């Protein structure tokens, strides 16, 4: 995905393309025409990140439909899920947003998150072991940072100093609380 932000394309396509060649898989470069900052204004969104996320989901959904894919797999980890649960609580979200929700894209491909129960440390270690290049959001996005980073650092510190497995506890408690309800 190479969105335009304030007139500038941001992308890590060179890394993605190289890894796709190594893995012998197809990679697609999506270059939306909409500027993320303009979309933020149209959506009346508080954060640029929300507009960018929405744009990425739309583009991925359209590509999946065009190519006839059954699934759209996102790479969110347990760390992402725990931070999202905490952010939902802190910001008074209407619904508790849970990352493992497997919805569909307009009745088409299913949205899945196969790594959501896997700690980020495990995915990082595996990437290092396999010598897979990775791209950190803060390396390509001028708007990286903010409250999500603060929450992630807080959870890391809690896990390191006070409560081992706190991220799994947060996610597990959220699941138990919502059991039997629709997860979003």
Over residues 93-123, the pLDDT tens digits come to 887 766 555 566 567 788 888 898 999 999 9
Q: pTM for this one?
A: 0.84
Q: What is the pLDDT of residue 44?
A: 92
Rounded Cα distance, 184 and 179, in Å: 12
Mean pLDDT for all residues in the chain? 87
- Ranges of each domain in the chain: 1-69, 70-184
Contact 84, 97 (CB under 8 A): yes
Two tokens at 134?
């990775």
CB half-sphere exposure, 131, CA atoms < 13 A: 2
What's the mean pLDDT in 124-133? 90
Per the model's pLDDT, the better-predicted residue between 94 and 169 turns out to be 169
Mean pLDDT over 160-164 rounds to: 98
Given CATH 3.20.20.80, say whether it is the number of domain 70-184. Answer: no
């Amino acid at each position: 995905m190479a969105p335009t932000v304030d007139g500038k394309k941001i992308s890590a396509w060179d890394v993605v393309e190289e890894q796709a060649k190594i893995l012998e898989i197809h990679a697609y470069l999506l270059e939306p025409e909409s500027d993320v900052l303009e979309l933020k204004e149209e959506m009346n969104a508080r954060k640029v990140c929300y507009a960018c996320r929405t744009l990425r989901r739309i583009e991925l959904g359209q590509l999946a439909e065009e190519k006839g894919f059954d699934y759209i797999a996102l790479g969110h980890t347990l760390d992402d899920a725990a931070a999202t649960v905490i952010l939902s609580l802190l910001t008074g979200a209407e619904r508790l947003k849970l990352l493992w929700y497997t919805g569909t894209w307009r009745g088409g491909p299913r949205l899945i998150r196969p790594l959501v129960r896997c700690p980020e440390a495990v995915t990082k270690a595996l990437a290092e072991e396999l010598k897979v290049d990775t791209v950190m959001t803060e390396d390509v996005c001028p708007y990286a940072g903010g409250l999500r980073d603060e929450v992630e650092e807080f959870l890391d510190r809690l896990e390191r100093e006070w409560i081992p497995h706190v991220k799994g506890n947060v996610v597990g408690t959220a699941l138990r609380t919502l059991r039997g309800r629709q997860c979003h």
